[in-house]
């Protein structure tokens, strides 16, 4: 990414828009401190976030407990022998005792409707089930900020709708939501503000979902639509 500067406010729902390879996933990894910028600064929850500051155990635990990321590919995230152990992993790593963690796991599995999967191995699950387990593993730590990378990618239509409704509910509950997408059809539901990235890895524009969907020339320029593409709720191109 190049010359990207932004502020995320508590409780915002933000969509990161751009073509494949524009840097959306990289930005999410920076926000989650899975990678660190070569230059520039990143502050979260009032503190600078660097490799050095995260060496402090208290700082690291505080940061990791307040922010969670759901990867595009659940296979890159789900690794434990059973679903129950996967969902318990985060709470246990953050110092929760086993009884509390077990209660948290039961609550999250019930909330997502996957209690029946608790003793299954992740490799036995469908893609949609794995995605739900990945989400459960993040919700189990009850973070303030949730990052989603292409959340509906490779999901069937029913699971896509379920996930968009869940993201909406989390936003209503006061969570800060940042999701990367190039899907414009459901953009107006889970986002209050959009950040648009060009293929040059720079931040090109920001605005409400309605603003961006009305900016056909911009969407063409950043390769989010084709000249003959229809935009949701907008007149078809001449």
Query: For residue 233, what pLDDT band results from cuts at 50, 70 and 90?
Result: confident
Do 46 and 163 lie in a common domain?
yes
Q: What value does the mean pLDDT take over residues 70-93?
A: 94
* Within-domain flag for 236: no
Q: Are strands 13-17 and 176-181 parallel, antiparallel or unpaired?
A: parallel
Do 122 and 201 lie in a common domain?
no
* Cβ atoms within 10 Å of 152's Cβ, excluding its own: 23
Query: For residue 238, what pLDDT band results from cuts at 50, 70 and 90?
Result: low
Give dist(CA 25, CA 71) in Å, integer. 9
Give dist(CA 52, CA 104) in Å, integer. 31
> Distance from CA of residue 220 to its chain's centroid?
25
Q: Strand, helix or coil at 12?
A: coil
Q: What value does the mean pLDDT take over residues 126-151?
A: 94
Do 150 and 221 lie in a common domain?
yes
Do 42 and 95 lie in a common domain?
no
Do 150 and 47 lie in a common domain?
yes
Residues 92-120: tens digit of each pLDDT:
999 999 999 999 999 999 999 999 999 99
Residues 139-192: tens digit of each pLDDT:
999 999 999 999 888 788 888 888 889 999 999 999 999 999 988 887 877 899
Do 139 and 166 lie in a common domain?
no
Q: What is the pLDDT of residue 135?
A: 94
Q: Are 35 and 198 in contact (CB under 8 A)?
A: no
Do 165 and 72 lie in a common domain?
yes
Do 224 and 137 lie in a common domain?
no
Stated pTM of the model: 0.94
Do 136 and 150 lie in a common domain?
no
Q: Strand, helix or coil at 39?
A: coil
Give dist(CA 84, CA 69) in Å, integer. 19
What is the distance in angstroms between the CA of the first residue and the CA of the last residue of the chain? 35
Q: What is the pLDDT of residue 156?
A: 85
Give dist(CA 184, CA 231) in Å, integer. 7
Do 151 and 71 lie in a common domain?
yes
Q: Are strands 193-197 and 13-17 parallel, antiparallel or unpaired?
A: parallel
Q: What value does the mean pLDDT take over residues 2-15?
A: 94
Q: Please name the residue that has the structure tokens 């303030």.
A: 144
Determine the structural domain holding residue 224 and report its residue range.
7-54+67-76+144-228
Do 127 and 203 lie in a common domain?
no
Give dist(CA 80, CA 138) in Å, integer. 14
Label residues 1-37 b or e (16+ Cβ within 10 Å = b): beebeeeeeeebbbbbbbeeebbbbbbbbbbbbeeee
The answer for residues whose C-beta is within 8 angstroms of residue 215's C-beta and 6 or more apart is 205, 207
* Within-domain flag for 116: yes
Q: What value does the mean pLDDT take over residues 63-74?
A: 94
Q: Which of 58-67, 96-105, 178-187, 193-202 has the lowest mean pLDDT?
A: 178-187
Q: Are 206 and 196 in contact (CB under 8 A)?
A: yes
Label residues 59-78 b or e (16+ Cβ within 10 Å = b): beeebbbebbbbbbebeebb
Please give the angle made by the CA atoms of 8, 65 and 75, to the nearest 5 degrees.
90
Q: Are 185 and 192 in contact (CB under 8 A)?
A: no
Do 121 and 216 lie in a common domain?
no
Domain count, the chain: 2
Closest residue by Cα to residue 135 from 123, 121, 152: 152
């Amino acid at each position: 990414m190049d010359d990207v500067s932004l502020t995320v406010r508590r409780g915002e729902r933000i969509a990161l828009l751009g073509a494949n390879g524009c840097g959306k996933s990289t930005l999410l990894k920076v926000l989650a401190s899975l990678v660190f910028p070569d230059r520039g600064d990143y502050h979260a929850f009032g503190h600078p976030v660097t490799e050095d500051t995260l060496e402090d155990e208290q700082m690291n635990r505080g940061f990791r407990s307040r922010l969670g990321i759901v990867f595009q590919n659940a296979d890159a995230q789900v690794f434990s022998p059973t679903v129950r152990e996967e969902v318990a992993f985060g709470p246990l790593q953050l110092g929760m005792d086993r009884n509390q963690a077990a209660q948290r796991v039961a609550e999250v599995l019930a909330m997502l409707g996957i209690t029946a999967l608790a003793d299954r191995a992740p490799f036995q699950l469908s893609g949609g089930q794995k995605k739900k387990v990945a989400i459960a593993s993040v919700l189990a730590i009850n973070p303030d900020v949730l990052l989603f990378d292409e959340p509906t990618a490779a999901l069937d239509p029913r699971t896509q709708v379920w996930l968009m409704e869940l993201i909406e509910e989390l936003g209503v509950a006061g969570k800060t939501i940042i999701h990367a997408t190039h899907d414009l059809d459901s953009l107006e539901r889970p986002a209050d503000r959009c950040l648009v990235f060009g293929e040059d890895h720079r931040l090109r524009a920001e605005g409400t979902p309605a603003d961006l969907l009305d900016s056909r020339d911009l969407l063409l320029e950043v390769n989010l639509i084709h000249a003959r593409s229809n935009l949701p709720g907008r007149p078809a191109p001449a």
